[in-house]
Amino acid sequence: MPADWGFTPEPAGTKFSSSTESGWHRKVSTVRIAVIGSTGSGKTTLGKSLAHQLTVPFIELDALHWDPGWTPLTMTDPLEFVRRVDAATAAPAWISDGNYKFVRHLVWERATHIVWLDYERRLIMARVIRRTLLRSLRGNELWNGNREQWRNLLRTDHPVWWAWKHFRRHRCEWAEALQDEAHAHLAVLRLRRPAGTAEVLRWLDEEPARP
């Protein structure tokens, strides 16, 4: 059964206890965690933080999927997308973030844990709108030279519209997929409210290893 927890965010600069750190230093060589959740839920932020604390590679599926000029490999070269994800997830330990159904069989079958950021729609929408505004104003490079632009808001596949339109479908889809026997090996943490890295690591430390 998935662990179903709710948390409040950790204060900045929170330190982990020595027991949590030592426990994960013993297991970290084989931990593979897939962070999933709606667009704008904070997958990348949490994933990067976990990867930093556990000193394992971070795999951002968006970076593997989007080529220059906002070219989606799932449309132009799906086999290349599979090849990239296959190579990245072949490592013995990693943290990934992303929801691409096209490569779920690779990511989930190789993962040892799933952290599902299953927040309410109003929180998701507030986050994704704020993120879009900041990215557009700052012009930060996202992946492979791609940058958020105001005109992208008119696209039906823009994260703001995508998050709203597909919220319920994705929630049902992931819940159903996690019940599949093919994913019985996964330890699942389903977060209903934002959690800090420390709480997630404490759950991981307490979760028994799966075969």
Token duo for residue 165: 């339109």
Chain segment 88-140, per-residue pLDDT in tens: 999 999 999 999 999 999 999 999 999 999 999 999 899 888 888 888 888 88
> Please, which pLDDT band fits residue 195 given cuts at 50, 70 and 90?
confident
Cα first-last separation, the chain: 16
CATH pick for 3-206 out of 3.40.50.300, 1.10.260.30, 3.40.50.620, 3.60.60.10:
3.40.50.300
Token duo for residue 53: 């604390």
How confident is residue 174, by pLDDT bands cut at 50, 70 and 90? very high
Q: Which two tokens stand for residue 52?
A: 């930093």
Cβ contacts of 136 within 8 Å, gap of 6 or more:
148, 149, 150
* pLDDT band for position 2 (cuts 50, 70, 90): low
Q: What would the mean pLDDT of 181-200 be, rounded to a whole number?
A: 90
Contact (CB, 8 A) for 145 and 68: yes
Q: What percent of the chain lies above the pLDDT cut of 70?
A: 84
Mean pLDDT of the chain: 84
pLDDT at 185: 94
Answering whether pTM is above 0.85, one says: no
Q: What is the pLDDT of residues 70-85, one digit of tens each?
A: 999 999 999 999 999 9
pLDDT classification of 45: cutoffs 50, 70, 90: very high
**Bigger pLDDT: 123 vs 26:** 123
The confidence band for 141, taking pLDDT boundaries of 50, 70 and 90, is confident
Average pLDDT over residues 127-154: 83
Is the pLDDT at 173 greater than 50, yes or no? Answer: yes
DSSP string, the chain: --EEE---PPPTT----HHHHHHHHHHGGG-EEEEEESTTSSHHHHHHHHHHHHT--EEEHHHHHEETTTEEHHHH-HHHHHHHHHHHTTSSSEEEE---GGGHHHHHHH-SEEEEE---HHHHHHHHHHHHHHHHHHT-B-STT-B--GGGGGSTTSHHHHHHHTHHHHHHHHHHHHTSGGGTT-EEEEESS---HHHHHHHHHHSPPP-
pLDDT at residue 191 above 80?
yes
Domain ranges of the chain: 3-206
Region 155-177: mean pLDDT is 83
